[in-house]
Each structure stands twice: as C-alpha cells, then as structure tokens.
Amino acid sequence: MTLFADSGSTKTDWCLVSGRQPVFSCHTQGINPAHQTEEQIRNILVRELLMQFRANVAELWHESRGNVDVRFYGAGCRGEAAKSLKAILVGCLSVADGKVFVDSDLMAAAHALCGGEEGIACILGTGANSCLFDGEKIVANISPLGYILGDEGSGAVLGKLFLNAVFKGGLPKTLCEEFFESTNLDLDDIIRRVYKEPLANRFLASLSPFIYKHLDVPELEAIVVENFKAFFVKNVDRYERKDLKVNVVGSVAHYYEKQLVEAARQCGYTVGKIIKSPMEGLVANVLK
C-alpha cells in the first residue's frame, strides 16, 4: 500500500493506492513546512486527513498502516524543512521512518509531466517553479524565490499585479468598482490581509476567480499574459533549451491556458502538456 500526497500552498491531494489501483482519495489544506509551524501541520494531518481516513477507510488504514509507504511531494520540502516534515508524518501516521519519502512538488510535476523523458517541467498554481528534467532527475532549477521576491507566473503574483493595477489606475474604473462590490474589500482590508495576516500568498491567489471571470477586459488579459511572459524570461530562459517543449501543471496553467500559450509563443517556446493536478501521472510513473 502506498499513500501519495501532492501538496501546494493552498491544498494537498492525497491518494491511497493498493498495487497500482487507487482505493481512496481526499483533500486537505496545503502543507508547506517553509510557511507553517509543526503544530499547524500536525493539526492538518490529525483533524483533516486522519478524520477522513476514519470516516471512509478506517478498517483498511488500520490493517495496512504498518506496511504503508508514504510518498509526500510538496512545496517547501527541501533541506531541514523536509526532515522536519518527515518526522511529523512518521509520528502522526504511525508509520516507520524508513517508509516515508519526502521530496519537492517539482519532482512530482516532473514525474507526472515528463515520465521518463527529458523535458522542462513547471508548476503554475498559487506559487510557481520550473526545472530541467533528464528523465530520472532534476538537473537544473532556477529558484522561484517565493511570491515576494519572485514566483513570476503564479496565482499569488497575478493577484499582486491585479491589485497594483486596481489601485494605481491600470484598469477600467467600472471593473474596479465591481471588484470592490463583489468582494467587500477595501484598501485597509487588503493591506491587513497582505501585511498583517498569515498566508498572504493564498489571499492574493484567491483573487484569481474574479480575474478569470473578466478576461474579456483587454487590460486585465494583458496583465495575465505579462505575468506568464515574466515567468518564461526570468526562469525558463535560463535553461537555454528552446528545443524542448514546456510542460506545466497547476490550476493557474489550467484555467489560463490560452494566455499561457500566447505568452510562450511570444517568448519563443512551445507548450506541451498542461494538466491541473499531477496525481494521476505521478502514481502511474512512480509505481511502474
């Protein structure tokens, strides 16, 4: 039995697999050891994941957990943060230390998008990341630097660019008025959510549905395209491999596919696969 987890900053997809067949899937809040405390992560595992196991597959989990392999792929899973998360998973899930594997969400994306082939694999969701994958391992990675210093192309940066345009006259007045009315937000609310409350990246990315709904506004669509162009110029260009297709996973890539393909074209790239979630490809390629 293998328990797979693919975690971004907003949500974690879980899939319990017997042999090669999924037997139970569920979702929890995102788990990112770079942004959350150990207590916050434990609460998610105990109050969200294990509660769903008890409600849906209690007998199967109880009988199998001593022999379950846990493969957790997530944002922020590197160095000491990955070691800390591994220890938390061992404790909360009551599995052996040697059966827990923690790696980056980027590796999950590479497996899901490229399989055993060479390619460029990218993540465009709440956050952003990219790599050059040789079919077995990541051979080059430009650090995305997070939504404050980087994360071009991400939902969080898209939200930041949108708010900047709202308050600095970059969008039609009628659109700005509709935004304030539909969200019940004002400048004070936004400043508080971004600078004083935790998980500002999630708040910024949460503005994406409003943006998507109004892509018929040329000035707004241009912001989306420019966000993606910055992703190509500041990240993908560094691999110097325009001969390879750019494959992308994540909700932002999925919903803004048209604008992503246009940005890639303007930057001299061809987009290959675009998938919303890597779980299906991840399970198939890791267990083959």
Per-residue model confidence as pLDDT tens digits over 114-136 = 988 999 999 999 999 999 999 99
Q: What is the rounded CA–CA span in Å between residue 21 and residue 24?
A: 9
Q: How many helices (H) and strands (E) does the chain have?
A: 15, 10
Task: Look at residue 180 and tell me whether its pLDDT is greater than 90.
Answer: yes
Name the residue type at position 58.
A
β-strand pairing of 128-133 with 119-124: antiparallel
The pLDDT of residue 60 is: 87
Tokens representing residue 236 in the block: 């993908």
Convert the pLDDT of each residue in 216-257 to its tens digit: 999 999 999 999 999 999 999 999 999 999 999 999 999 999
β-strand pairing of 21-29 with 11-18: antiparallel
Residue 64 contacts residue 34 (beta carbons within 8 Å): no
CATH number at 2-107+280-287: 3.30.420.40
Among candidate residues 37, 53, 75, the one with its CA nearest the CA of residue 3: 53
Strand order through the sheet with 246-249:
138-140, 128-133, 119-124, 246-249, 271-275
The pLDDT of residue 1 is: 86
Q: Mean pLDDT throughout 34-60?
A: 92
| Terminal-to-terminal C-alpha distance of the chain | 14
Task: Look at residue 152 and tell me whether its pLDDT is greater than 70.
Answer: yes
Beta-carbon count within 10 A of 86 CB = 18
